[in-house]
Amino acid sequence: MAAPRKSATQVAAREKARAKAQELTARHEKLIDLAAEFFEQQEQAEQVRADARAKADALLARAEEDAAAAIAGAAGTAAAMVASGESKASVAARLGITGAELKKLLDQAPAAAGPAAAEQGDAASEDEEGTAAVAA
């Protein structure tokens, strides 16, 4: 048989090279698309984490406010116990806290109840003065 022409061999080699290049290009494009998808998913994961952190921070801030209100209430209750004539040592023992912890609570009590109690006292004295002025 006759050997294929050189140009036919070259054409076949070029076709084979083009097919291989197209295969590599398609594979490369697929890898680029997959990499883009990967980065989008990474970005989405970071967004989910950031949203969760924001929600957690808001929840913790609300919990701290609620806890501060509860502590203020406890301080007011402890102050009422002391104001009823019970000794500080007895109140501390009854509450199961140390004298230092009771002192700390009592220091917080005027700050928590003081302005509200002072406003109520001022309003009551104004009512008395207003009633006395109307009666006179």
Position 105 pLDDT exceeds 60? yes
What does the mean pLDDT of the chain come to?
83
User: DSSP characters for 46-86?
Assistant: HHHHHHHHHHHHHHHHHHHHHHHHHHHHHHHHHHHHHHTT-
65-83: average pLDDT: 94
Res. 9 pLDDT band, cuts 50 70 90 = confident
Res. 6 pLDDT band, cuts 50 70 90 = confident
Question: Where do the structural domains in the chain lie, given as residue ranges?
Answer: 16-135
Q: Measure the N-to-C terminal CA separation of the chain; round to a whole number of Å.
A: 140
Alpha carbon distance 64, 106 (integer Å): 20
Alpha carbon distance 136, 35 (integer Å): 89
Res. 1 pLDDT band, cuts 50 70 90 = low
